[in-house]
């Protein structure tokens, strides 16, 4: 049986700082064994934590989310090496990895961003952001769920038949199946 995998959106990484919830422990509680954070999401979170116009609490939430990803990636790497040597680290939560995009995809992503900026000048933006489009594509390709609280992205994912995980009651994550 394949491992349950979830793609993590930027706003989901703000939840620990906003609501004090450990999203990776919650994902493990829901049965997810692996969380994938696209590099574009991590970059967006890094920009948020350094954004001068954000309130202090928002910047702290972004910093906490960024740190939490790095902490879990390191823990996942060390527990993987411990597993190969037969020792156990007593890890918590699910395994977390960062998904790299190859250079051609990055160049194409930059060209697409420029085209999108042109379209924005001509009409009101109605489609999902590039990061959201990347998340949707990755979820479809990997047959993974997506952790997000973005209502627009959740609607797009639902229309595409992708399962979503979202914050429920300000204290726990809940899953909506495909």
Q: What is the pTM of this model?
A: 0.75
pLDDT tens per residue across span 27-54 = 999 999 999 999 888 988 988 888 888 8
Residue with the two structure tokens 């989310």: 65
Mean pLDDT of the chain, nearest integer: 83
pLDDT at residue 122, rounded to an integer: 54
User: What pLDDT sits at residue 125?
Assistant: 42
pLDDT digits (tens, 9 = 90+) for 139-156: 999 999 999 999 999 999
88: confidence class by pLDDT, cuts 50, 70, 90: very low
Query: Domains in the chain, ordered, with CATH?
Result: 5-102+130-176 (3.40.50.1010)
Q: What is the mean pLDDT of residues 64-92?
A: 73
Mean pLDDT, rounded, for 95-108: 71
């Amino acid at each position: 049986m394949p491992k349950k995998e979830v793609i993590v959106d930027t706003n989901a990484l703000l939840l620990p700082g906003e609501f004090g919830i450990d999203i990776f422990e919650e994902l493990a509680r829901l049965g997810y064994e692996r969380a994938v954070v696209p590099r574009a999401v991590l970059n967006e979170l890094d920009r948020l934590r350094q954004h001068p116009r954000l309130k202090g609490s928002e910047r702290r939430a972004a910093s906490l989310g960024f740190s939490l990803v790095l902490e879990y990636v390191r823990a996942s790497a060390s527990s993987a090496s411990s597993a190969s040597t037969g020792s156990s680290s007593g890890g918590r939560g699910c395994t977390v990895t960062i998904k790299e995009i190859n250079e051609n995809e990055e160049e194409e992503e930059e060209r697409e961003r420029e085209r999108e900026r042109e379209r924005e000048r001509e009409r009101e933006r109605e489609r999902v952001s590039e990061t959201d489009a990347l998340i949707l594509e990755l979820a479809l390709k990997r047959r993974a769920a997506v952790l997000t609280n973005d209502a627009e992205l959740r609607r797009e994912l639902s229309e595409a038949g992708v399962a979503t995980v979202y914050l429920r009651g300000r204290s726990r994550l809940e899953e909506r199946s495909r």
